[in-house]
Amino acid sequence: MINIGIIGCGYWGPNLLRNFTGLLDCSVKIVIDIDYARRNYVKEKYPQIATSSQDKDLFSDEIDAVVIATPAQTHYSLAREALENKKHVLVEKPLAMSVKEARELIHLAKKNKLILMVGHTFEYNKAVQELKRQIKKDIIGTPYYLYSQRLNFGIVRRDINALWNLAPHDISIFIYLLEAMPISVSSCGYDFIQKGIEDVVFMSLEFPGHIAAHIHVSWLDPSKVRKMTIVGSKKMMIYDDMANEKIKIFDKGIRRENIKDSLGAFDDFKKYQLLQHAGDVTIPKINFEEPLKEECAHFVECILKDKKPLTDGENGLRVVQVLEAAQKSLEQEGKNIKI
């Protein structure tokens, strides 16, 4: 039985709390929040769970693992404190606000033989796992390019921009699908509501093998969009997280075929035709489970069986490396930054 302490119970924390309390092999012992109203929420809904405003109450001997769902700027210091106190840690995305901080956390977890996991929830999403299966099975052929949109009306953050708040999901999904780090990134962002805090960010990334990627994130948009398109040499896929049929695979592609000249030889330079084909649309069946439930169960399993988490510290670091480079690019008017 793993005893858990959760810190931060605002918008996202209650989802973690609900999922961890629903698992059999762990028990949530305490929830910490500096906000009185949020502690009251916990007291009313879960009277058996202790509450406190003091982080130090997370570090009692009774607690084995700490779950951090506070604002991003606090992740590093809270995770460090927890690891120093010999607690396993699940920290919400982003793992930290710099590569240096992320590396320190990894080092500390390794040194103290503790599990460090980051909440890249979409890697536990069955639809995203299906996209990867399709790519690995070569159903769509060579990926040419992919792009995603993560848009909504709110929640407007005051502490971090839309890049650090929303793009960790898309970056983690792209790295997971392509099993590679991007080579470079260039990003532009616009701060309309609060000076210096970008509400909308457009990122262009290049992955090895001439694969292009684009990410558009915004909290200043009329509608909620969570959509990703992946175009391959044989087929194309659309993943719409808001739809019931989450993935559609389009048997569409354009083939370049050489035309034989009068002597029967191939002319590679000029004589070719572009053959367009458009076949069926397939909708793979997905046995959907709440991704956060999978993530929470995975964290507990990794502690109990001393397993490496799917989204371990290194995984969190890779996303922070991309975010840091994208932030640099934002500050240099879209300059292409090598990662």
Ligand X SMILES: NC(=O)c1ccc[n+]([C@@H]2O[C@H](COP(=O)([O-])OP(=O)(O)OC[C@H]3O[C@@H](n4cnc5c(N)ncnc54)[C@H](O)[C@@H]3O)[C@@H](O)[C@H]2O)c1
Positions touching ligand X (CB under 6 A) are: 7-13, 32-35, 38, 55, 69-72, 74, 92-93, 119, 121
Taking the least distance from each CB to ligand X, the nearer of 69 and 249 is 69
> Closest separation between CB of residue 92 and ligand X, Å?
4
Q: State the nearest-atom distance from the C-beta of 53 to ligand X, in Å.
A: 7
Q: Which is nearer to ligand X, 167 or 185 (CB)?
A: 167
Q: Which is nearer to ligand X, 266 or 288 (CB)?
A: 288
Smallest separation, CB 191 to ligand X (Å): 19
Q: Smallest gap, in angstroms, from Cβ of residue 35 to ligand X?
A: 4
Q: Phi/psi of residue 222, each to 5°?
A: -65, -30
Report the nearest approach of ligand X to the CB of residue 205 (Å). Answer: 21
Q: Which is nearer to ligand X, 206 or 241 (CB)?
A: 241
Minimal distance, residue 232 CB to ligand X, in Å: 27
Closer to ligand X by Cβ: residue 174 or 207? 174
Q: Which residue is nearest to ligand X (CB)?
A: 10
3-state DSSP of the chain:
CEEEEEECCCCCHHHHHHHHHCCCCEEEEEEECCCHHHHHHHHHHCCCCEEECCHHHHHCCCCCEEEECCCHHHHHHHHHHHHHCCCEEEEECCCCCCHHHHHHHHHHHHHCCCCEEEECHHHHCHHHHHHHHHHHCCCCCCEEEEEEEEEEECCCCCCCCHHHHHHHHHHHHHHHHHCCCCCEEEEEEECCCECCECCEEEEEEEECCCEEEEEEEECEEEEEEEEEEEEECCCEEEEECCCCCCEEEEEEEEEEEECECCCCCECCCCCEEEEEEEEEEECCCCCCCCHHHHHHHHHHHHHHHCCCCCCEHHHHHHHHHHHHHHHHHHHCCCCCEEC
Quick one: 9 or 249, whose CB is closer to ligand X? 9
Q: Which is nearer to ligand X, 42 or 249 (CB)?
A: 42
Identify which of residues 26 and 90 has a Cβ nearer to ligand X in the complex: 90
Cα–Cα distance, 304 to 323 (Å, whole number)? 32
Closest CB 229 distance from ligand X, rounded Å: 21
Least distance between ligand X and beta carbon 67 (Å): 10
